[in-house]
C-alpha cells in the first residue's frame, strides 16, 4: 500500500489498516495527548487518542518530517 492509497481511505478503513498491517514503533504521551506511532509498508501512521472519550480521534500519515522529531531521540527510523 502506498501513502496516497492510505490517505484515500476513510477513517475506519485507516484504523483497520493500521491494526491489520501496522507495526507498533513507539508512543508519545503528555498530560494533554497520547500518540502511537506505527509503520505501515514504507510510511508512518500516528494515531491520536482522546483519553476522556477513550477512542482514536485523529489519524496522521507521513513518510518523514517534523512529526517524527518527538520519536527520533530513542528510535532509529531509517
Q: What is the pLDDT of residues 23-70, one digit of tens each?
A: 999 999 888 789 999 999 999 999 999 888 889 999 999 998 788 888
77 domain residue, yes or no: no
**pLDDT-based confidence at residue 74 (cuts at 50, 70, 90):** low
Contact 56, 47 (CB under 8 A): yes
- Residue 65 pLDDT: 77
- Residue 48 pLDDT: 95
The CATH number of the domain where 21 resides is what? Answer: 3.30.67
Domain of 42? 3-68
12 domain residue, yes or no: yes
Q: Confirm whether pTM is higher than 0.95.
A: no
18 domain residue, yes or no: yes
11 domain residue, yes or no: yes
Task: Return d(Cα 33, Cα 24) in angstroms, integer.
Answer: 17
* Sequence-separated (6 or more) residues with CB below 8 Å from residue 67: 44, 46, 60
74 domain residue, yes or no: no
> Cα–Cα–Cα angle for 64, 10, 66, nearest 5°?
15
pLDDT higher for 52 or 22? 22
75 domain residue, yes or no: no
45 domain residue, yes or no: yes
Amino acid at each position: 500500500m502506498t501513502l496516497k492509497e492510505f490517505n484515500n481511505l476513510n477513517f475506519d478503513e485507516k484504523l483497520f489498516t493500521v491494526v491489520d498491517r501496522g507495526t507498533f514503533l513507539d508512543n508519545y504521551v503528555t498530560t494533554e495527548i497520547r500518540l502511537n506511532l506505527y509503520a505501515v509498508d514504507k510510511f508512518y501512521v500516528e494515531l491520536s487518542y482522546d483519553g476522556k472519550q477513550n477512542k482514536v480521534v485523529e489519524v496522521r500519515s507521513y513518510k518523514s518530517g517534523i512529526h517524527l522529531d518527538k520519536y527520533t531521540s530513542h528510535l532509529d527510523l531509517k
